[in-house]
A and B are shown apart, each in its own frame.
Chain A
Amino acid sequence: MMLFLRQAWTIAAKDLRSELRTKESLNAAFAFAVTILLLFSFAVDVDPDRIKEISGGLLWMVFAFAGALIFNRAFARDLANDCLDALLASPIPGAALFLGKTIASFTLVLAIEMLCYPVFGLLYNISWANHFWTLAGVTVLATWAMAVIGTMFSTLCVNLSLREIMLPLLVYPVLIPALMGAMLLTTQLISGQPISSDNQIWLRVLAAFDIIFTSLALLLVETVLVG
């Protein structure tokens, strides 16, 4: 078990290190996210109360689109110079490879989100950090869901020429329950209220989503990668 986690962490560290050295997709995704936030401020009347009502929806759409850019790179990064073949030929199990890449993508997307929240607060004049730790918890749960599904489906699409289109097309429908939960909870938290008892079920939905899809992915990824 410890060996498995250490292997996954080695892969995650490799991916993070290579990404942080070049910062290509990190910069692109962050710039994309900020651009959408900026454009949206021109699209609607910047009335703080109205923005608070849609804050969850806006933020999570931005995170989903920026995340897609990151997840596409997860396996695509290793296509050049047969790196993916080398990784598959190495003695680590496919599940450890998958877990490592998921952790790396998760960390990158989480970093972008944590940077986007203050930008959002600045652009729209909203104090978003009233329930900071709950908001962070919700963000972590939903981002893990995105990372698992994004990385898993990226293994399905890695060899396709239309990779950039197919990945969002497959990922977003599956993610809708998790994104819905994240949007509702985020809207409530950014509006300054703690999570109501009505919305507590969404926390359970997010947790169940994470557990179910992580287990399913870990079981199946070896089949996809190696056959």
Chain B
Amino acid sequence: MKDKLLFGAGLMAALYLVRNLYVILVDLPDEAQQGAIYRIFFFHLPPYFTAVVMFLGALIASIQYLRTKDFKYDCFAVSAIEVGLAFAAMNLVTGSIWGRQQWGIWWTWDARLTSALITWLIYAGYLMLRQAIPEPTQRAKNAAVLAIFAFTAVYFTYKANEWYRTQHPGPVLTFRTGKETIDRSMQNMLFHNTGAFLLLASVMVAHRMRLERNQREVESLRRFVHAH
């Protein structure tokens, strides 16, 4: 039953993405200066929001794990962080390509880009820490503490545009600037794509959680088989 639900959700996410792709490429108006390249924006900002939601979910799960010691929270945390890393990578790479075209540089060390990269590195370190600890309880505990520390980087990345003058463009969405700085249809498309990616991310997290549970089952089975 759960399998069917997951498959259905995945299918819906795929269809939603395809519909969004059509709208992005065909329906949306052109941007005044940038030409076609601005449409990358729809694969740059929604992955960032998705990644932030994933990391926030992992933070909450980590805190819950430390309070209840229930492994399902640990399972969710590692899955959410892995999926979040994939979307954060999308964010970094599309941003770099856009920057190459717009400003002629693949990268610059301003506050926004640097903190985004640091966030990615810290969460990659989380995965590496997990790999280095074989014992499940200690692994879950230490990883949970690291996830709590790591979220400060996410918050810093979000605020970096406000606090510093950066090469990266400042906020454009209405809920941050308070006024109409971006065309309505584009903003709606951004939210649509964020929704699609969030749906896709949920399906991926569910799959990854199943993998994690299986992996733990396999480990305990292996111990059992070798002990007898």
A and B touch in the complex (CB under 8 A): yes
**Chain A residues near B (Cβ < 8 Å):** 152-153, 156-157, 159-160, 162, 166, 169-170, 173-174, 176-177, 180, 201, 212-213, 216, 220, 223-224, 227
Report the count of interface residues on B (CB-CB < 8 A).
Answer: 25
Minimum Cβ distance to chain B for residue A172 (Å): 8
Identity of the chain A residue whose Cβ is nearest the Cβ of B66 in the assembled complex = A223
Minimum Cβ distance to chain B for residue A221 (Å): 8
Name 7 A/B residue pairs within 8 A (Cβ), A-sorted: A156-B146, A166-B129, A173-B153, A174-B150, A201-B163, A201-B164, A213-B152
Query: Interface SS of chain B: helix, strand, loop or mixed?
Result: helix
Q: Which residues of B contact A159 (CB under 8 A)?
A: 133, 138
Interface string of B158-172 (1 = CB under 8 A from A): 000001100000000
**A174 with B122: CB separation less than 8 A:** yes
Interface string of B126-165 (1 = CB under 8 A from A): 0011001100011001100110111011001000000110
Identity of the chain A residue whose Cβ is nearest the Cβ of B141 in the assembled complex = A227
| A170-B146, A223-B66 as given contacts; A177 in contact with B156, CB under 8 Å | yes
Partner of A173, one of B121, B132, B142: B121
**Chain B residues near A (Cβ < 8 Å):** 66, 114-115, 118, 121-122, 125, 128-129, 132-133, 137-138, 141-142, 145-146, 148-150, 152-153, 156, 163-164
Q: Which residues of A contact B163 (CB under 8 A)?
A: 201
Q: Which residues of B contact A152 (CB under 8 A)?
A: 149
Minimum Cβ distance to chain B for residue A39 (Å): 25
User: Told that A152-B149, A157-B129, A169-B125 touch, could you supply 6 new A-B pairs with CB distance under 8 A?
Assistant: A159-B138, A160-B133, A170-B146, A174-B122, A174-B150, A223-B66
**B152 with A216: CB separation less than 8 A:** yes
**A177 with B122: CB separation less than 8 A:** no
**B125 with A224: CB separation less than 8 A:** no
Rounded to whole angstroms, the CA-CA distance of A202 and B153 in the bound complex is 16
Partner of B128, one of A166, A177, A223: A166
Q: Which residues of A contact B114 (CB under 8 A)?
A: 176, 180
Minimum Cβ distance to chain A for residue B211 (Å): 24
Identity of the chain A residue whose Cβ is nearest the Cβ of B115 in the assembled complex = A177
Among A156, A180, A216, A223, which residue has the most Cβ atoms of chain B within 10 A? Answer: A156
